[in-house]
Chain A
Amino acid sequence: MNAPLIGQSVKRKEDQRFLIGSARFTDDITLQGQAHAHFLRSPHAHARIRSIDIERARSAPGVVAVYTGDDLAKAKVGGLPCGWLITGVDGKPMKEPPYPALAQGKVRYVGDRVAVVIAETLNQAKDAAELIEVDYEILPAVVKAADARKSGAPAVHDIAPDNTCYVWGLGDKAAVDTAFKSAHHVTTLEFINNRLIPNAIEPRAAVASYSRGDDAYTLYVTTQNPHVERLLMTAFVLGLPEHKVRVIAPDVGGGFGSKIYLYGEEVVLTWASRQVNRPVKWTAERIESFQSDAHGRDHVTKAELALDKNGKFLAMRVTTTANMGAYLSTFSTCIPTILYATLLAGQYTTPAIYCEVTAVFTHTAPVDALRGAGRPEATYVVERMVDTAARELGIDRVEIRRRNFIKTFPYQTPVALCYDTGDYEATLTDALKLADVAGFEARRKEAEKRGKLRGLGYSTYIEACGIAPSNVAGALGARAGLYEAGEVRVHPTGSVTVFTGSHQHGQGHETTFAQVVADRLGMPIENVDIVHGDTGRILFGMGTYGSRSIAVGGTAIMKALDKVIAKGKKIAAHLLEASESDIEYDRGTFTVAGTDKKKSIAEVAFAAYVPHNYPLDKLEPGLNESAFYDPTNFTFPAGSHICEVEIDPATGATRVVNFTAVDDFGKVINPMIVEGQVHGGVAHGIGQALLEGCVYDPQSGQLLTGTYMDYTMPRADDLPSFKVGMRETPCTHNPLGVKGCGEAGAIAAPAAVMNAVIDALAPMGIRDIEMPATAERVWRAIQSAKAKK
Chain B
Amino acid sequence: MRAFDYHRPKSVKEAISILRKVENARPLAGGQSLIPSLKLRLSGPPALVDLGAIEEMRGIKVDGGALTVGALATHAEVAASKDVVHGIPALARLADGIGDRQVRNQGTIGGSLAHNDPAADYPAAVLGLGATVHTNKRAIAADKFFTGTFATALKPGEIITSVTFPLPKRAAYVKFRQPASRFALVGVFVSEGGGAVRVAVTGAGGCVFRQKAMEKRLAENFTPDAVARVKVAPDELNTDIHASAEYRAHLVGVAAQRAVETALAGK
* A776 pairs with B243, CB closer than 8 A: yes
Distance between Cα atoms of A779 and B243 in the complex (Å) = 11
Residues of B70-120 contacting chain A, CB below 8 A: none
User: In whole angstroms, how far apart are the Cα atoms of A710 and B178 in the complex?
Assistant: 8
- What's the minimum C-beta distance from A289 to chain B, rounded to whole angstroms? 14
Q: How far is the CA of A767 from the CA of B192 in the complex (A)?
A: 44
Interface class of chain A by DSSP: loop
Q: Which residues of B are found within 8 Å of A123, using beta-carbon distances?
A: 1-3
Interface contact tally, CB-CB below 8 A: 42
Contacting residues, chain A, for B41 (C-beta < 8 A): 126, 130
A711→B247 contact, CB < 8 A: no
One of B1, B241, B251 near A704 (C-beta < 8 A): B241
Q: Point out the residue from B2, B179, B244, B251 that lies within 8 Å of A691, measured CB to CB.
A: B179
Q: Are B250 and A710 in contact (CB under 8 A)?
A: no
Task: Give the contacting residue for B179; candidates A126, A130, A774; CB below 8 A.
Answer: A774
Residues of B within 8 A of A776 (CB): 242-244, 247
> When chains A and B are docked, how far (Å) is the Cα of A705 from the Cα of B180?
9
Number of A interface residues at 8 Å Cβ cutoff, please give it: 23
Name B146-188 residues within 8 Å CB distance of A. Answer: 176, 179-181, 183
On chain A, the residues within 8 Å of B250 by CB distance are 779
17 contacts between A and B (CB under 8 A): A126-B41, A127-B2, A130-B41, A651-B251, A651-B254, A653-B176, A695-B241, A704-B241, A705-B180, A712-B180, A713-B180, A774-B242, A775-B176, A776-B242, A779-B247, A779-B250, A780-B247
Residues of B within 8 A of A653 (CB): 176
CB-nearest residue of chain A to B244: A776
Residues of A within 8 A of B244 (CB): 776
Would B254 and A709 count as touching, CB distance under 8 A?
no
A residues near B (Cβ < 8 Å) are 123, 126-127, 130, 287, 650-651, 653, 691, 695, 704-705, 708-713, 774-776, 779-780
Contact with A along B220-253 (1 / 0, CB 8 A): 0000000000000000000001111001001100
Q: How many residues of B contact A (CB 8 A)?
A: 18
Q: Which one, B1, B180, B247, B251, contacts A710 given CB within 8 A?
A: B180
Name the contact of A712 in the complex, choosing from B2, B3, B179, B247 (C-beta under 8 A): B179
Closest chain-A Cβ to B39's Cβ sits at a distance in Å of 9
B253: nearest residue on chain A (CB-CB)?
A650
| Least CB distance, A124 to chain B, in whole angstroms | 10
Residues on B with C-beta less than 8 A from A691 are 179
Say whether B40 faces chain A, with CB atoms less than 8 Å apart.
yes
CA distance in complex: A695, B242 (Å): 11
Query: In the complex, what distance in Å separates the CA atom of A333 from the CA atom of B190?
Result: 55
Q: Across the interface, which residues of A come within 8 angstroms of B183, CB to CB? A: 709
Residues of the B chain whose Cβ atoms lie less than 8 Å from the Cβ of A709: 180-181, 183
20 new A-B contacts, CB < 8 A, other than A705-B241, A710-B242, are A123-B2, A123-B3, A127-B2, A130-B41, A650-B254, A651-B254, A691-B179, A708-B180, A709-B180, A710-B180, A712-B180, A774-B242, A775-B179, A775-B247, A776-B242, A776-B244, A776-B247, A779-B247, A779-B250, A780-B247
Complex CA gap A653/B247 in Å reads 12
Least distance between A119 CB and chain B CB atoms (Å)? 14
With beta carbons under 8 angstroms apart, the residue of B3, B176, B180 that contacts A651 is B176
Closest Cβ–Cβ distance, residue A683 to chain B (whole Å): 15
In the complex, residue of chain B having the shortest beta-carbon distance to the beta carbon of A123: B1
Bound Cα distance from A711 to B40, whole angstroms: 17
Closest 8 interchain pairs by CB? A712-B180, A709-B181, A712-B179, A776-B247, A695-B241, A710-B180, A650-B254, A704-B241
Contact for B180 among A126, A650, A711, CB less than 8 A: A711
Which residues in B have their C-beta under 8 angstroms from that of A780? 247
Q: Select one of A287, A712, A775 contacting B40, CB under 8 A.
A: A287
A127 proximity list for chain B (CB < 8 A): 2
Name the interface residues of B181-221: CB closer than 8 Å to any CB of A.
Answer: 181, 183
Could you tell me the distance in whole angstroms from the C-beta of A777 to the nearest C-beta in chain B? 10
Chain A residues, Cβ within 8 Å of B180:
705, 708-713
Q: In the complex, A287 Cα to B250 Cα: how many Å?
A: 33
Give the distance to chain B from A711, nearest Cβ to Cβ, in Å. Answer: 6
In the complex, which residues 34-79 of chain B have their Cβ closer than 8 Å to any Cβ of chain A? Answer: 40-41
Query: From residue A773, how far is it (CB to closest CB) to chain B in Å?
Result: 11
Of A650, A651, A779, the most chain B CB neighbours within 10 A belong to A651
User: Considering only CB atoms, which chain B residue lies closest to A697 in the complex?
Assistant: B241
Closest residue to A691 on the B side, CB-wise?
B179
- Of chain B, the residue at the smallest CB distance from A127 is B2
**In this complex, what residue of B is CB-closest to A783?**
B250
Q: How far is the CB of B181 from chain A (nearest CB, A)?
A: 4
Closest Cβ neighbor of B181 among chain A residues: A709
User: B181, A708: Cβ atoms under 8 Å?
Assistant: yes
Give chain B residues whose Cβ lies under 8 Å from the Cβ of A712: 179-180
**Closest chain B CB from A97 CB (angstroms):** 30
Whole-angstrom CA separation of A127 from B44 in the bound complex: 12
Using CB atoms, name the residue of chain B closest to A695.
Answer: B241
Interface centre among B2, B40, B183, B241 (most CB of A within 10 A): B241
A-side contacts of B243, CB under 8 Å: 776
Task: Give bound CA distance, A612 to B88, whole Å.
Answer: 87
| Distance in angstroms between the alpha carbons of A775 and B186 in the assembled complex | 13
Interface residues of B in 243-267 (CB under 8 A from A): 243-244, 247, 250-251, 254
Q: Give the CA-CA distance A761 to B190 in the complex, in Å.
A: 32
Residues 1-38 of B contacting A (Cβ, < 8 Å)? 1-3
For residue A32, give the distance in angstroms from its CB to the closest CB of chain B: 26
B210 CB to closest chain A CB (Å) equals 23
Contact partners of B40 in chain A: CB under 8 A: 287
A780 to B243, CA, bound (A): 11
Minimum CB–CB distance from B97 to chain A (whole Å) comes to: 13
CB distance from A323 to the nearest CB of B (A): 18
- A402 vs B189: C-alpha distance in the bound complex, in angstroms? 53
CA distance A653 to B251 in the complex (A): 11
Contacts of A710 in B (CB 8 A): 180-181, 241-242
**Cβ of B3: which chain A residues have Cβ within 8 Å of it?**
123
Identify the interface centre among A287, A705, A779: most chain B CB within 10 Å of its CB: A779
The distance in angstroms between the C-alpha atoms of A768 and B243, with both chains bound, is 19
Question: In the complex, how many angstroms separate the beta carbon of B225 from the nearest chain A beta carbon?
Answer: 14
Measured between alpha carbons, how far is A650 from B251 in the docked complex, in Å?
9
Closest to B248 in A: A776
CA distance A126 to B40 in the complex (A): 11
Kindly state the separation between the CA atoms of A712 and B241 in the bound complex, as whole angstroms: 12
Q: Would you give the shortest CB distance from A521 to chain B, in whole angstroms?
A: 47
Nearest residue, chain A, Cβ from B247: A776
Minimum CB–CB distance for B230 against chain A, Å: 16
Contact with A along B102-143 (1 / 0, CB 8 A): 000000000000000000000000000000000000000000
Alpha-carbon distance A651/B176, docked complex (angstroms): 9
Bound form: Cα–Cα A775–B244 in Å: 11
Shortest A787–chain B CB gap in Å is 13
Quick one: which of A650, A704, A708 has the most chain B CB within 10 A?
A650
The interface residues of chain A lying within 8 Å CB-to-CB of B251 are: 651
A19 to chain B, nearest CB (A): 21
Q: How far is the CB of A198 from chain B (nearest CB, A)?
A: 16
Cα A779 to Cα B41 in complex, Å, equals 38
How far, in whole Å, are A279 and B231 apart by their CA atoms in the complex? 64
CA distance A691 to B40 in the complex (A): 25
Smallest Cβ distance from B129 to chain A, in angstroms? 25
Closest residue of B by beta carbon distance from A772: B179
| Separation of A306 and B3 alpha carbons in the complex (Å) | 66
B residues near A708, Cβ cutoff 8 Å: 180-181
Q: Within the complex, what minimum Cβ distance (angstroms) separates B101 from chain A?
A: 13
A734 to B181, CA, bound (A): 46
* B70 vs chain A, min Cβ distance (A): 29
**Complex Cα spacing A142 to B2, Å:** 35
Docked complex Cα distance between A711 and B181 (Å): 8
Task: Name the distance in Å between B167's Cβ and chain A's nearest Cβ.
Answer: 31
Q: Which residue of A lies closest to B255 (CB)?
A: A651
Provide the residues of chain A in CB contact with B2, threshold 8 Å. 123, 127
Which residues does chain B contribute within 8 Å of A774, judged by CB atoms? 179, 242
B227 to chain A, nearest CB (A): 13
Closest residue on chain B to residue A690 by CB atoms: B179
